[in-house]
Amino acid sequence: GAVVSQHPSWVICKSGTSVKIECRSLDFQATTMFWYRQFPKQSLMLMATSNEGSKATYEQGVEKDKFLINHASLTLSTLTVTSAHPEDSSFYICSVPQGNQPQHFGDGTRLSIL
């Protein structure tokens, strides 16, 4: 089955920095990938759907200019948190759907903004 690689696993940076997170589908070509955010002691909330070769679809309340998504190839989607602030500190995780099979999740990225 598909294996998903997500990097980095942990980022600590200063307020105002932009942070890029990569999600790679190693065994499967993915026209769609999903990005979730999980705050402490809360559930996973879908942020956006990444579409290969076209614009991402953002969920209500997620700022597309702040969370830039690029899905330029069938194996890579990137999420860039621009000008990050402490309230953006969270656990970000991607997933890759595979037809009728269970989705495959990356290991997640813990983002801490000082």
Partner 1 sequence: GENVEQHPSTLSVQEGDSAVIKCTYSDSASNYFPWYKQELGKRPQLIIDIRSNVGEKKDQRIAVTLNKTAKHFSLHITETQPEDSAVYFCAPQAGNMLTFGGGTRLMVKP
Contacts with partner 1, residue ranges (CB under 8 A): 32, 34, 36, 42-46, 49, 91, 93, 95, 97, 100, 102-103, 105-108, 110
> How many whole angstroms separate alpha carbon 73 and alpha carbon 87?
30
Min dist CB 98 to partner 1, Å, is 9
Min dist CB 70 to partner 1, Å, is 20
Largest CA distance in the chain: 41
95 alpha carbon, distance to own chain's centre: 8
Q: Which is nearer to partner 1, 6 or 75 (CB)?
A: 6
> How many whole angstroms separate alpha carbon 47 and alpha carbon 98?
19
Q: Which is nearer to partner 1, 13 or 44 (CB)?
A: 44
How is residue 40 written in tokens? Answer: 């402490």
